Amino acid sequence: MVRRWTDIYNKGGPFKKRCKAAGIPSFPTFTEPEAMIVKEGGARVMSLADGSSKMSKSDPNDASRINVLDPPDVIRSKIKKCKTDAFKGLEWGNKERPEATNLLTIFQAVQPGRTKEDILKEVGEMSWGEFKPVLTDAIIAHLEPIQNRYHEIRNDEEYLMSVLREGSDSANEIASKTLKAARVSMGFVNRD
C-alpha cells in the first residue's frame, strides 16, 4: 500500500509544488514498515501440541502455547504435557524431530546470548523427563520480570492512565501531520 501510494501521489513536480505551498517537506507521505522479527533464536516458535505448526494465540487449544501472563504452575503443566518423541537425547534440525528442535529453540530464546552448541553441551544427552523441568524453569525465569512489571503497572491506575493519555496525545499529533501530508500529496485544498 505504501509503495502504491508513493507511486501515485508522491512523485513529480506538481507534488513538490504542493508540498512547498503547504510548507511541508516533499518526502513520501508514508514510511514503509520493516519487519522486526529476529531470525536467530526464536523467530519461529512452534506449537507445544504439534512441533510442525506455528505457535498461535488464536489456536483454540490453550495448551499449545505459553502466554506471557501464564502463572508458573500453568507453564509447568503445559511444558509437562507438550508433545515430544520417543528418541533418546535432544538435537536441533532433525526433520523427524520437530518437537526437539522447537523446545530447544524455546530454551535458547529465553536465554539470550547462548549458542546452540553451548545449549546442546548442557542438555543434549538429557531425556525429556530431565529436560522439561530445566526448560520450564528457564521460561519462568525469563517471564517473571515481565509479569512483575505488568502487574506493577496494572495496579497503579493513575500511572497507567497518564501513560495512555501521553500516548494518545503523541499519536494524535503524528496522525494530524500525516493526514495533512496525505491531503497535500493527493492535491486536496489545505484546511489550515
pLDDT digits (tens, 9 = 90+) for 120-178: 999 999 999 999 999 999 999 999 999 999 999 999 999 999 999 999 999 999 999 99
Q: What pLDDT is attached to residue 189?
A: 67
Between CA 192 and CA 183 the distance in angstroms is: 11
70 in helix, strand or coil? coil
126 in helix, strand or coil? coil
Scanning the structure block, which residue is given the C-alpha cell 506471557?
68
The pTM is what? 0.74
CA dist 122 to 75, 116, 135, 174, Å?
22, 10, 12, 49
